[in-house]
Chain A
Amino acid sequence: MDFFREYSKVGRGPRRESRYAPILASSGAFALAMIWLALRVKFEKDAPYSHWPALIPLAPLAASTLIFFFGRFMPRAASIIIAVSAMTFSLILNLALWFIASRLDGGTVLQEVYTWAAVGEMKIDFAFSLDALSAVFAACGIAAGLLCGVFAAGVSPDKRTHNRALVFICLFEAALLTALEASNLPVFFAGFSALTLCSYLMVGLLRRDDESRLASRWQISLSLTGDMLFMSGMLVLLAQFGSIEMSEMSLWVSMMDSTWLLPALMLVLVGLAVKSGLWPFSSAVALTARLDALPNTLLLSAGPAFLSIYVMLRFGTLFLHVPAAMTLAAILGTVSALVCILLALSQRDMGRSLAYAAMSQYGFAFAAAGFGAFVAAGLHALALSLCILSLMLGFGLLVHISGGERNIYRLSQIGLRFAPVRYAMLLSFMALAGFPFAAYFSRGQIIAAALSVEIGPASWLAVPMGITLALISCLTAFLAFRLYFTVFASPALQARRPMPFAAGLPLLAATVLCASAAVLQMPDDKGSLAAVLLFPALEDPPQLMRLGGFNTFGLLLSVAATLLGFLAARKTYSSRTPLSEPLRESEGIAKIFEKELYLDRALYRIFSKPLVDFGRILGNFADSWIVESAMVRSVAWLARSVGLGLSFLQSGNVQTYLLLAVAGFFVLCLWLWQAGIITG
């Protein structure tokens, strides 16, 4: 009860809090109505629910449009009601359809909305299909959007910013859900690319300043590069297999020409890595992490990296047949996980530290897919999504309360000891570290998978990668508790702002979700509970379900690594006073790491600047001089020279003309003779 008592102390008072009562009441009523509707559905083949999947992404899209056009004329609460209701509707419908799908043959609810285009052999339907895999990822994504929407209501300074945030969040959700529930690859790509645009809008336009502009530029550049690489791979697959349906992917293998499968999957994989922001493509993540918590929360918990793991699971059947691609995934994931956790440890900005930690864990999930532990990868991504959602919301709340402070040492001086925030974040930090109850069993399974290597990378990679992943686990635990001890385990001083109720509520909800993720990972005789409940879509072929079960060795190693990290952090940070850590500038290698290895500058110097400079040379020099001189000026010069030469011949001298006439006659005769017209 202390928890709630303390919570009520820091709220805005009863009068202000009542503002949210109608929102909560209407959302609750709406949710109940939807549950009632869902329960009335009969499980028949042509039941009305086959017309529902499209409504899942459509609802947030409609809300976004409504708020965008009419938000300025509505009271602030109305915008929140619209956004929250739309996302609640999507969430409930998603859960209801998941329930229905689990009782249907094939486990999928399919809706063909209309034929998007049909040309030659390629017919593309704008169709959605919802099975367990897409439903669980969608539920997680919607939960993130919903909580971010409520959080925005609490922290937005004015109506305009608030409406803008809601528009972008709803748009982002619509894009994510389109991708997750797409029935075929083109529709998936539409959602996948729309996510790029939404990320760009959210990062660049939510807070219009130099930092966001720079971050959005990197965001769009890297995302588009990832999109194009993915599209190239996708088109090769489409052209080679002739099928675009995601559900037929396992059949593609039988039609496979291995010559094409390898480059196609490599393109898909690198595209996903670039779009996700795995190291060394993490510049956008680093720059975005300097911004507010809201875009970071959504991007890290339900953004491109989250979606990429979903794609890896969907493409699992194909990846199983191309060990080289799996090796690449494992290496990319492991290297990214290691570098990102080192970068996270070197940061003093809490947001950036958390962002790098999240990317490190997504690298972990990538590596898991590379080792063939697809179920573990999926579970890890889901648990991580909820964990990072909770952490970033907590971070956002701390920044709000402290008046914009982000430095972990200065935050410790402020000494924020609000119990709700503290306990919620402690739970999330434990989840990040690998303690029960979240992201626990999956991490052990991934380490065990790396050490056993049955599918994917060459066996010589097994031990180094397994040990590296265990080391990363240890470092992650160290980072998590370092952040906790630094920020919370210090004497309390004065907070600068009250804690808004609407911003605190999502933190609590996210923490509950984060903790509940552990339940889904509980092992049973067929693997984990989630593997049985959530991933029936992966049962064909059975290799995809490999390593779904309880793995003692991996678990023990993971636990040992986590404990080691925790103890190290406790020894180093728990007894320090707030000012014990000097606030001086970093030097040497620490500085290089703190500046994210100067990666954005390196990428700019290596790729962007040479490209633009080369373009400048092409446009201003090659185009004007080489092409122009070759095509136009040379012809003009030739014509003028011939004209000048001819004009010199016009001397007025009869003898010259006669000479020319005779020469002409001989040339003509020669030509006629050569053409065979005159002979002898």
Chain B
Amino acid sequence: MEIEGLHLLTLIVFLPLAGALVLGMLPHSESALLRGFGLAISGSAFLLALLLWSGFDPQNPAMQFTEEARWIPACGISFRLGIDGVSMPFVLLATFLVPMALLSSIDTLSRGVKGFVFCTLLLESAMLGILTAQDIFLFYIFWELALIPLFFFVTAWGRSNRSYSAVKLFVYLSSTSVMMLLAFIFLQAGNGDGGNSSATLRNLALDPQMQKWIFGGMLIAFAAHAAVFPLHTWLTDAQTEMEPAASALLSGLFIKLGAYGLLRFALPAFPTLFADFAPFLALAAVAGLIYCSLAALGQKSLRRMAAFILAGQMGLAVLGISVMNVEALSGAIFLMISSGVSGAALFMIIALIEKANGHDNVDRLGNSIRALPFLGMLLVPAALGLGGFPGLSGFAGNIYLLYGAFAPNTLPGSSALAFAACFGLLLLLAALMLMMQKMMAGNDRLPPAETARVGLREHLVIVPMIVLIILMGVMPSYFIKGISGASVKIVEQYRSAAVSAPDGMQGTDSLAVNCDNDATEE
């Protein structure tokens, strides 16, 4: 049977949403049923994603499995979905992480199970929608939808300072989303006959000054979502307060969506402006990497430490996007995927350490490795995978990204930035090592962590992620093939547009030719 005709993308995107609606009708008291149902739905979405992957052609850089239906013709809004080498791994990651997060929440979550599973499924649907939407307004709708469950994750299941963190999260993300909405409205107006399709965003007939405003709005919105310095403070607070399973989703996937949006919409729409802004973006990214790594070194809360580390790593990924050559871009995307898996695993491990000790203060942790030896085995690959240790998932991303950054004839001053990024990476590794040591060895004067038992099941939830971290480290080619193909296309389009664009115009001719070629190939 042809996979193309199955409307797999629609199924994957809306299955969790439909599941959430059905879940609403189930009784509150049946926690096991609610969890089982949530797992079944998210597991099915993962299986569908695997089916999608089996039919995905990594050599083809164009959009695949495209689905289109007219939705609001008056505004030119369509229901348009599609997937390429950049979004495919993110879709797999999203569908993989949600069941893992639900599984890990079994032992850490005691109240509001129904609401939690509901919000998780809603978030999954929204994130998958963001990753597959090819219409800017459809993208925006999913974007806003994702904020709702996040807000409740903090307010309903958060710790003592949850109100402050929730408001902060909402202020940061909603206010910047409004900027994005305004930008999209102007973009649609300037896109002429192209409507809202992301594929035709390059044919813009807009005033140069207006273009700068639109681009600025999009840039701030995406940077805030990606927690790029100095717009990262919402992330550290939210991560500290959130339910750990939700933290895994936030760090594992949600913050990566900001960088994804930048790549999918801001870059193709404004290649010349992107080229102008790229040095500043790269500078902010590297500054963020160093700043967040240093800040991580000084934290007393494990969760905050991990949040800073992840924010720092997003800085590294944004550097790769700013450099904009095939190696750096592929490295950045791969790094985000890797960081998604390792970051989620790390947060789950932190949750277990926290459960065993009753708190997450690094100065008061006992010798956890004595009480939880298996956890040490899981922690080492998770943390080192995040730091880019050879043989583990982050290495390929780091090496390609930095190779691209050091390559001649890229961004002005990129070599200096790459040197600085290496220094930042060293600090990031130092923070990870410090965290590992505190988690494993703890304070010698305190007794080993034995206040609570951590069961085998809680450990086993993390095992698939560790396996994936090792697989991505040993055989990255299996994962990077599709990313590389899509990156080549993005970089080619960007270069031709940025080079050929006359002042004030966004390279319409060359990009139109590229789009025509793509259409012919398809």
Contacts and interface: CB of A to CB of B under 8 A. Distances in A.
A677 interface: no
B396 interface: yes
Given A210-B444, A239-B407, A619-B308, A614 B294 contact: yes
Interface in B391-425: 391, 395-396, 399-400, 402-404, 406-408, 415, 418-419, 422-423, 425
A466 to B, nearest CB: 36
Interface in B228-263: 230-231, 233, 236
Contacts of A191: 390
Contact of A119 (B326, B389, B419): B326
Contacts of B441: 213
Nearest to B326: A120
B296 interface: yes
A588 to B, nearest CB: 33
A120 B330 contact: yes
Interface string A214-246: 000100110011001101100110111000000
B287 to A, nearest CB: 11
A47 interface: no
A224 B390 CA distance: 12
B430 A232 contact: no
Interface string B330-362: 110000000000000000000000000000000
B163 interface: no
B389 A197 contact: yes
B488 A120 contact: yes
Contact of B233 (A194, A224, A235, A623): A623
A115 B327 CA distance: 16
Interface string A601-624: 000000000011111111110111
Contacts of B64: none
Nearest to B425: A228
Contacts of B114: none
A659 interface: no
Given A117-B396, A122-B403, A631 B231 contact: yes
Contacts of A360: none
Contacts of A620: 298
A670 interface: no
Interface in A506-559: none
Interface string B433-472: 1100100010010000000000000000000000000000
Interface in B297-340: 297-299, 304, 308, 325-327, 330-331
Nearest to B396: A117
Given A121-B327, A619-B298, A235 B426 contact: no
A619 B295 contact: yes
Contacts of B437: 213, 217
A220 B390 contact: no
Given A115-B477, A119-B400, A228-B425, A619 B299 contact: yes
A221 B484 contact: no
Interface in B47-100: none
B330 A119 contact: yes
Contact of A190 (B230, B236, B391, B418): B391
Contacts of B21: none
Contacts of A118: 477, 480-481, 484
Contacts of A617: 298
A257 to B, nearest CB: 8
B264 interface: no
A194 B144 CA distance: 44
Contacts of A623: 233, 236, 295
A240 B441 CA distance: 42
Contacts of A116: 396, 475-477
Contact of A235 (B395, B399, B487): B399
A194 B380 CA distance: 13
A627 interface: yes
B294 A627 contact: no
B170 to A, nearest CB: 12
A117 B308 CA distance: 29
Contact of A193 (B389, B422, B484): B389
Contact of B168 (A190, A210, A618, A632): A632
Nearest to A191: B390
Given A119-B326, A194-B391, A224-B426, A612 B298 contact: yes
Given A122-B403, A193-B389, A631-B231, A618 B408 contact: no
Nearest to A612: B297
Contact of B403 (A114, A194, A238): A238
A235 B403 contact: yes
A514 B492 CA distance: 59
Contacts of B425: 228
A126 to B, nearest CB: 8
A387 B423 CA distance: 37
B327 A224 contact: no
Nearest to A213: B441
Nearest to A233: B422
Interface string B466-498: 000000000111001101100110000000000
Nearest to B395: A190
Interface in A107-149: 114-122, 124
A210 B442 CA distance: 11
Nearest to A240: B408
B171 interface: yes
A189 interface: yes
B430 A224 contact: yes
A120 B430 contact: no
B171 A619 contact: no
A636 B425 CA distance: 35
B419 A232 contact: yes
B433 A224 contact: yes
Contact of B325 (A120, A611, A612): A120
A220 B433 contact: yes
A199 B366 CA distance: 24
A117 B477 contact: yes
Given A190-B395, A224-B426, A232-B419, A627 B297 contact: no
A409 B374 CA distance: 43
B296 A615 contact: yes
B291 interface: yes
Nearest to B422: A232
Contact of B390 (A194, A210, A615, A631): A194
A291 to B, nearest CB: 16
A631 B228 CA distance: 13
Contacts of B330: 119-120
Interface string A237-259: 01110000000000000000000
A297 B431 CA distance: 30
A221 B297 CA distance: 13
Contacts of B488: 120
Interface hub of B168, B236, B390, B418 (most chain A Cβ within 10 A): B390
A224 B475 CA distance: 24
B353 to A, nearest CB: 18
16 contacts: A117-B400, A119-B483, A119-B487, A189-B390, A193-B390, A194-B391, A197-B384, A213-B441, A228-B426, A238-B403, A618-B294, A618-B298, A623-B233, A623-B236, A631-B231, A632-B168
Given A120-B325, A622-B295, 15 more contacts: A117-B480, A118-B477, A120-B488, A191-B390, A232-B418, A232-B419, A232-B422, A235-B406, A615-B293, A615-B297, A615-B431, A618-B294, A619-B298, A624-B233, A627-B233
Closest 7 CB pairs of A and B: A616-B298, A615-B298, A120-B326, A615-B297, A190-B390, A239-B406, A619-B295
Interface of A: 114-122, 124, 186, 189-191, 193-194, 197, 210, 213, 217, 220-221, 224-225, 228-229, 231-232, 235-236, 238-240, 611-620, 622-624, 627-628, 630-632, 636
Interface of B: 168, 171-172, 230-231, 233, 236, 291, 293-299, 304, 308, 325-327, 330-331, 384, 389-391, 395-396, 399-400, 402-404, 406-408, 415, 418-419, 422-423, 425-427, 429-431, 433-434, 437, 441, 444, 475-477, 480-481, 483-484, 487-488
